[in-house]
């Protein structure tokens, strides 16, 4: 049984892609900050990724349970970055959590770091006050949008810090895990290192649907800091070789192959602009002054910090000489 009108969340929009296949697309101003998926496999429910907060994770669980009138059987992670797994703690022991070994290991490390952060609420409060003070005087709308998002995230972190405990995988897999029902055939597939230490996608070939995790950033800047750029490009090219008309990215709206092409173009444009600075023996400070052309200039709204970390990554990747000040 599928409920036609599940409760609406302030954190994400539920989009039906096929019978029993739903994308959960994060809403501006909500506490999801990334995308997720809910899928019906006859007598089993699979949720893919779990958002960045307990609040959004709880809404995700409630939506999945309401849609199919049963507990969630499986929660799978596409990768280890915290904006996709903190909300996993909203799911209880009835839900088996699936990851690959590299992802679980990375989650353990980031979970320890996160718990150390939460044990110092004074530092979080100070960070919040600094962001709020900066927002009061900032005039660049792109930076203001960044600050507003950061302030929202810090507030949710403070609110949830007392009760939060990390949830780690119960079951590990390697390679491919099939899911099948009368209506759907799907597979969780590890594509290995690229955007992160191990990126998993969920593929439904007969339906023409693929959930990309953070291999896909559509209409927004990808996150490069922890990636292997050459392997990341290869992951994106993988999808250009297959016919998946519907692509659900880890961030941004649902798209298709044109969005993959555009993301690859972003990599090329950023690499070319930063390489011009590096080849002229310019500094990181000079590299941070480059201007992104259309359409990527629009991606800077709310993403100036992301722009800075991506330029820093590309500068180091291309062998730029960094000073102690950098």
Whether residue 271 is contained in a domain is answered as yes
Whether residue 200 is contained in a domain is answered as no
Q: How far apart are CA 268 and CA 279, in angstroms?
A: 16
- For the whole model, what pTM was predicted? 0.94
Whether residue 122 is contained in a domain is answered as no
Q: What is the pLDDT of residues 222-244, one digit of tens each?
A: 999 999 999 999 999 999 988 89
How many residues comprise the chain?
326
Handedness of CA 184, 188, 194, 195 (dihedral sign): positive
How far is CA 240 from each of CA 170, 256, 260, 295, rounded to the nearest angstrom?
33, 10, 8, 21
Least reliable range by pLDDT among 41-50, 113-122, 215-224, 312-321 = 113-122
Whether residue 226 is contained in a domain is answered as no
> In this model, does residue 325 exceed pLDDT 70?
no
Q: How far apart are CA 156 and CA 174, in angstroms?
A: 34
Q: What is the pLDDT of residues 244-293, one digit of tens each?
A: 999 999 999 999 999 999 999 999 999 999 999 999 999 999 999 999 99
What's the mean pLDDT in 130-145? 93
What's the mean pLDDT in 65-94? 95
Domain count across the chain: 1
What's the mean pLDDT in 185-207? 96
Angle formed at CA 110 by CA 104 and CA 113, multiple of 5 degrees: 145
Q: How far apart are CA 14 and CA 316, in angstroms?
A: 39
Q: How far apart are CA 195 and CA 232, in angstroms?
A: 5
pLDDT at 326: 63
Whether residue 62 is contained in a domain is answered as no
pLDDT category of residue 1 using cuts at 50, 70 and 90: low
Proportion of the chain above pLDDT 70, given as a percent: 98
pLDDT category of residue 296 using cuts at 50, 70 and 90: very high
| Number of neighbouring beta carbons within 10 Å of residue 139 | 6
pLDDT category of residue 61 using cuts at 50, 70 and 90: very high
Which range has highest mean pLDDT (113-122, 174-183, 316-325)? 174-183
Q: What is the pLDDT of residues 97-120, one digit of tens each?
A: 999 999 999 999 999 988 888 888
Tell me which residue range forms the domain holding 279.
265-317
Whether residue 274 is contained in a domain is answered as yes
Q: How far apart are CA 249 and CA 270, in angstroms?
A: 20
pLDDT category of residue 193 using cuts at 50, 70 and 90: very high
What's the mean pLDDT in 80-93? 95
Whether residue 308 is contained in a domain is answered as yes
Mean predicted lDDT score pLDDT of the chain:
93
Three-class DSSP category at 209: strand
Whether residue 190 is contained in a domain is answered as no
pLDDT at 182: 86
């Amino acid at each position: 049984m599928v409920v036609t009108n599940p409760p609406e969340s302030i954190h994400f929009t539920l989009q039906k892609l096929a019978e029993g296949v739903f994308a959960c697309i994060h809403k501006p101003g909500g506490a999801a900050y990334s995308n997720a998926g809910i899928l019906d496999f006859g007598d089993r429910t699979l949720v893919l990724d779990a958002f960045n907060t307990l609040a959004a994770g709880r809404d995700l669980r409630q939506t999945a349970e309401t849609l199919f009138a049963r507990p969630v059987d499986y929660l799978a992670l596409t990768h280890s970055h915290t904006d996709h797994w903190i909300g996993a703690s909203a799911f209880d022991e009835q839900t088996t959590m699936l990851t690959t070994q590299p992802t679980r290991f990375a989650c353990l490390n980031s979970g320890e770091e996160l718990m150390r952060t939460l044990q110092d609420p004074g530092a979080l409060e100070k960070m919040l006050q600094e962001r709020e003070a900066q927002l009061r005087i900032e005039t660049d709308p792109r930076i203001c949008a960044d600050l507003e998002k950061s302030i929202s995230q810090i507030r949710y972190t403070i609110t949830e810090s007392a009760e939060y405990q990390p949830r780690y995988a119960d079951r590990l897999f390697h390679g491919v895990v099939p899911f099948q029902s009368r209506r759907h055939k799907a597979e969780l597939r590890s594509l290995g290192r690229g955007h992160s230490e191990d990126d998993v996608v969920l593929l439904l070939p007969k339906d023409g649907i693929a959930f990309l995790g953070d291999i896909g950033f559509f209409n927004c800047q990808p996150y490069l800091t922890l990636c292997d750029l050459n392997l990341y490009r290869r992951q994106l090219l993988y999808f250009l070789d297959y016919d998946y008309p519907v692509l659900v990215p880890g961030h941004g709206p649902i798209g298709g192959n044109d969005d993959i092409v555009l993301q690859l173009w972003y990599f090329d444009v950023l690499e070319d602009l930063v390489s011009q600075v590096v080849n002229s023996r310019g500094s990181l400070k000079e590299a941070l002054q480059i201007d992104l052309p259309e359409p990527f200039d629009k991606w800077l709204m709310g993403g100036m910090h992301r722009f800075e970390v991506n330029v820093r990554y590309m500068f180091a990747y291309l062998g730029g000489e960094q000073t102690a000040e950098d």
